[in-house]
């Protein structure tokens, strides 16, 4: 859907903190603009150096995009820097660089004294993009807990039933494919 340049600029002002607080408040409490999603996607698309169409933004750096492939297109996760995490149904965290904070000394680098988790009980995992080293996510979990899959959006249903338009990628089963990916790739390397 084509969105006016004014709406895209307004979205940019909102994202970058230039919108006055009173106006922002009206946006938050007011009736929602049905073009807001397209304005957001158009705004983010202008900011990335690559051509793949953004289907759904996930975070400051990550989006699900349509990646052309033989005979069509597939939905993958891509960083603003261009790093590709492939199939969006696989938790991108298993392909990221990760730094685990687990000792008192490591916790004290970021926590005030006596405020950090008990070493051995909880860990902090910092996930970084292998391409640009941006900090993508931090999770606080019990030691040994599997990487949390923050979001596995049903983009096919979202496009069909919410946006009322076809998703520009090949039809595919909606399922978490992280365990299958680990079996195929990581176990084989072990």
Residues of this chain that interact with Zn ion (CB under 5 A) are: 79, 81, 83, 129, 131-132
Cα angle vertex 120, ends 117, 125, to 5°? 65
Place of tokens 């494919």: 177
Residue 103 beta carbon to Zn ion: minimum distance, rounded to whole angstroms: 28
Q: Rank residues 63 and 83 by Cβ distance to Zn ion and give the closer one.
A: 83
Q: Rank residues 117 and 131 by Cβ distance to Zn ion and give the closer one.
A: 131
Q: Rank residues 123 and 136 by Cβ distance to Zn ion and give the closer one.
A: 136
Structure tokens at 168: 């520009």
Residue 32, Ramachandran bin (φ over 0: left; ψ between -120 and 50: alpha; else beta)? beta
Structure tokens at 81: 């820097």
Residue 79 beta carbon to Zn ion: minimum distance, rounded to whole angstroms: 3
Residue 8 beta carbon to Zn ion: minimum distance, rounded to whole angstroms: 23
Q: Rank residues 135 and 143 by Cβ distance to Zn ion and give the closer one.
A: 135
Q: Rank residues 132 and 143 by Cβ distance to Zn ion and give the closer one.
A: 132
Please name every residue paired with 135 in a beta bridge, in sequence order, or none if there are none.
Answer: 128
Residue 165 beta carbon to Zn ion: minimum distance, rounded to whole angstroms: 29
Residue 187 beta carbon to Zn ion: minimum distance, rounded to whole angstroms: 26
Q: Of the candidates 174, 175, 152, which has an alpha carbon nearest to the alpha carbon of residue 91?
A: 152
Q: Edge-to-edge strands of the sheet including 84-87?
A: 53-57, 62-69, 72-79, 84-87
């Amino acid at each position: 859907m084509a969105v006016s340049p004014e709406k895209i600029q307004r979205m940019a002002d909102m994202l970058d903190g230039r919108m006055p607080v009173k106006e922002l408040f009206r946006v938050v409490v007011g009736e929602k603009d049905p073009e807001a999603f397209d304005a957001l996607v158009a705004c983010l698309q202008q900011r990335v150096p690559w051509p793949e169409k953004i289907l759904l933004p996930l975070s400051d750096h990550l989006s699900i995009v349509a990646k052309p492939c033989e005979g069509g297109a597939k939905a993958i996760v891509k960083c603003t820097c261009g790093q590709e995490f492939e199939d969006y149904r696989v938790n991108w965290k298993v392909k990221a660089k990760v730094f685990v904070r687990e000792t008192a000394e490591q916790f004290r680098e970021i926590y005030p004294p006596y405020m950090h988790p008990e070493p051995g009980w909880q860990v902090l995992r910092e996930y970084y993009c292998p391409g640009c080293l941006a900090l993508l996510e931090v999770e606080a979990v019990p030691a040994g807990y599997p990487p949390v899959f923050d979001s596995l959006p049903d983009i096919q249903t979202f496009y069909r039933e919410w946006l009322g338009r076809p998703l520009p990628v090949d039809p595919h089963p909606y399922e978490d494919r992280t365990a299958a990916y680990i079996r195929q790739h990581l176990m084989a390397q072990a």
